[in-house]
Amino acid sequence: MNYEIVLWSLISIPAISGLICIFAPSPKFALGIMCAGVFSAALLGLLAIEAVLLQGKILFAAADWLFMDALSAYNLFVMIIVFCLSSLYACIYFHEELLHNNLTLKQLRQFTSLWCGALAAMTLVLLSNNLGIMWVGIEATTLITAFLICIHVSRKSLEAMWKYILICSVGVAFAFMGTLLAAASAKGVGWGSYNALLWTTLRTNAISLNPMLIKAAFIFLLVGYGTKAGLAPLHSWLPDAHSQAPAPVSAIFSGFMLNAALYCIMRYVPIVETATGNTGWGLQFLVGFGIFSIVIAAAFIIFQKDVKRLLAYHSIEHLGIIALGFGLGGLGTFAALFHTFNHSLCKTLSFFAAGRLGQIFGGHDMENMSGSLPVSPVWGIGIFCSLLALIGIAPFSLFMSEFQLIKAAVDSQAWIVLSLFLLGAGIVFVGALGHAIPLAWGTNQKSYTPVTATYFEAFLVFAPLAVLLVLGLWMPKTFFTALNSAANIIGIVGSVAPSGVGR
C-alpha cells in the first residue's frame, strides 16, 4: 500500500468534503457529505494506524514534512473516535433544530463545511513532521472553529467567539515565537534551513541544540499552546466557547481540539529534555500548570449553574491531569496518554447528553434540567454516568488512569504534588456529585412529557459507556502496546503496566 497517498488523503478528503458542503442543495445532502468525508478519512486513518501501531512502521510523505509515528497514530485514533461519534450525533442534534426551525440551510452549510475543515486542520497538526507546519495547523483550527461557536448567532455567542479568537490568537503568537526560537537553537549546527524544523531531525540531534534558546522556546511554546489547550491561568476563553457552541462543536472542542494543542507541547518535551541534559527542567513546568489547572477548575466547578460550563471546567481539570501525568514522567506518561483517550470519550458523551437534554428542557440551566432521568432515561443515564466517570468513580477507566497517575507521583516521591492533586480531585468529586444527583433525580418545578430515545441515540450513549467500563476492568494487549509505543516517543518509560494489564 502507498502510505504517502494515504497521509495526503487524510488531509485532502475532509478538506474537499468541506468545499462540497458549501454548495449543498439540502440539509440532508450537507450532513451526508460531511459524514461521508469524515468516515472515509477515518477508514484510511485506521489503515495507517494499523501499519504504525501493529506493524511498527513509521510513515513519511511530502519529502518528510508529513509523517506518522506511534504518538501521532495514537492521537489520530482518539481523534477518529471523537469525530465519527460527533458526526453521527450532529445528524440527530441538527435534525431536531431543523424540525423546530432553529436552523437554516445556510447555517448548516456553514457548519458542515467548517466541521470538515476543522478535521483537516487537526489532522495536519498530528501528521506534521515540520514544526512550523504544525503551528500552521493549530492556527487554522483557531480560525476555522471560531465560526463554529456562533452557528446560532446571539450576543453571547459572538462575545464567546471574539474572546476565543483574541485569547487563542495571542497564545498562538507566543507559540510562533517559540517555534522561531526552536529553529534558532539549531543555528550553526549545519543542518540547513530545510531540516531545521523537522521534528525527526531535532529529536535525533537534540544534544547539539543551544540549551538557553531551547529553554526560552519551550516557555513560549508552553504558554502559547497551553492557551489553546485551556490550561489555567490561560483558560478564560474555554467556558464561554463551550457553553455557547452547539453541542457537537463542544464535543470536538473538549474531546480532541484541546488534546491537539497539548500534543504540540509533547512533541517538544523529548527535544527539550535531551538538550538540557535530562534534568527534568521542562517537566516541572508541566507539573506546575497541571496542578494549577486542577485546583482552579475545582474552585469553579462547585458554583456552576450551567451544565455546559460545568463540563468546560471539567475539561480544564482533566487537561491539567494529563499535563501533570506528562510532567511526572515514567508511568505518569503512560497514565496521561490513557487518560487522554478516557477523557475524550467520556467528555464527548457528556456533551452529547447535555446538548440533547438542553433541547428537551429548553436550556442548559441545571436547576431547570432537574429530574432529567424520568423525562429522558437514555440521555439522563448518559449525563449522570458521564459525570460519575469524570469524577473518577470506579470501575470506569478514568479511575484507572488517575490511579496510575497517583502511583507515578508516589514513585517520584512528589508528595506535595500528590497532596494538591488529591485535594483538587476531592473538591471536584464533592462538587460535581452535588450537581449530578439533582440533575438526574431532582424535583423539577415544570412538567415535561417523557421523551423516548431512538436505538441510534441509545447506541451513542451506551457504546461509549461500555468502552469506559471495559477499559476500567481490562485493557486489551493491543491497546496496551499502542499506549506504551506512544509513551516511548515522549520519553523512556520503562515498565509501566500495572499488574495484569495488557494480558
Checking if the pLDDT of 497 tops 60, the result is no
Checking if the pLDDT of 227 tops 90, the result is yes
23 and 119: one domain?
yes
**C-alpha distances in angstroms, 311 versus 89, 201, 241, 292, 422?**
18, 39, 12, 18, 20
Rounded CA separation 209/188 (Å): 9
Domain membership flag for residue 136 = no
285 and 273: one domain?
no
**Per-position DSSP letters for 118-183, written without gaps between them:** HHHHHHHHHHBSBHHHHHHHHHHHHHHHHHHHTSS--HHHHHHHHHHHHHHHHHHHHHHHHHHHHH
| Tens of pLDDT, residues 456-493 | 999 999 999 999 999 999 999 999 999 999 999 997 43
Instruction: Give the phi and the psi of residue 174 in degrees, each rounded to 5.
Output: -60, -45
Please report the pLDDT score of residue 193 as a whole number: 63
| Tens of pLDDT, residues 288-302 | 999 999 999 999 999
Checking if the pLDDT of 494 tops 80, the result is no
450 and 490: one domain?
yes
107 and 66: one domain?
yes
Rounded CA separation 474/402 (Å): 15
Q: What is the mean pLDDT of residues 37-66?
A: 95
Q: Read off the DSSP letter of residue 63.
A: T
Which residues make Cβ contacts (< 8 Å) with residue 11, sequence separation at least 6?
A: 120, 123, 124, 127
Domain membership flag for residue 145 = no
Which residues make Cβ contacts (< 8 Å) with residue 379, sequence separation at least 6?
A: 352, 353, 356, 357, 360, 372, 451, 453, 457, 461
499 and 480: one domain?
yes
188 falls in which pLDDT band (50, 70, 90)? low
345 and 448: one domain?
yes
Q: Read off the DSSP letter of residue 56.
A: -
**Which residue type is seen at 470?**
V
Domain stops at, among 208, 243, 278: 278
Q: What is the mean pLDDT of residues 301-321?
A: 95
Lookup: cell for 438: 439533582
213 and 203: one domain?
yes
Q: How many domains does the chain have?
A: 3
Which residues make Cβ contacts (< 8 Å) with residue 191, sequence separation at least 6?
A: 201, 205
159 falls in which pLDDT band (50, 70, 90)? very high
Domain membership flag for residue 387 = yes
Checking if the pLDDT of 503 tops 60, the result is no
**C-alpha distances in angstroms, 500 versus 180, 397, 408, 473, 476?**
45, 15, 17, 10, 10
165 and 115: one domain?
no
| Tens of pLDDT, residues 348-391 | 999 999 999 999 999 999 999 999 999 999 999 999 999 999 99
Q: Which domain holds residue 401?
A: 280-503
84 falls in which pLDDT band (50, 70, 90)? very high
Rounded CA separation 262/293 (Å): 13
192 falls in which pLDDT band (50, 70, 90)? low
Checking if the pLDDT of 151 tops 70, the result is yes
Domain membership flag for residue 473 = yes
Domain membership flag for residue 109 = yes
Q: Read off the DSSP letter of residue 59.
A: E
**Residue pair 204/271 in contact by the 8 Å Cβ criterion:** no
Rounded CA separation 503/490 (Å): 24
Rounded CA separation 16/7 (Å): 15
352 and 264: one domain?
no
**Residue pair 52/318 in contact by the 8 Å Cβ criterion:** no
360 and 502: one domain?
yes
Rounded CA separation 243/220 (Å): 28
For the chain, what's the residue count?
A: 503
CA dihedral 481, 484, 490, 493 (to 10 degrees): -150
**Residue pair 439/372 in contact by the 8 Å Cβ criterion:** yes
In this structure, which long-range contacts are made by residues 361-364, counting pairs with CB atoms below 8 Å and at least 24 apart in sequence?
361/448, 364/243, 364/306, 364/307, 364/308, 364/309
Element (H, E) at 79: helix 70-99
Looking at every residue in the chain, the average pLDDT score rounds to 93
Total-model pTM: 0.94
Lookup: cell for 373: 432521568
Q: How many Cα atoms occupy the beta-carbon half-sphere of 95 within 13 Å? A: 12
- % of the chain residues with pLDDT over 90: 85
Rounded CA separation 138/136 (Å): 5
Q: How many Cα atoms occupy the beta-carbon half-sphere of 344 within 13 Å? A: 28
344 and 309: one domain?
yes
109 and 121: one domain?
yes
**Per-position DSSP letters for 412-454, written without gaps between them:** TT-HHHHHHHHHHHHHHHHHHHHHHHHHHHPPPSS-----PPP
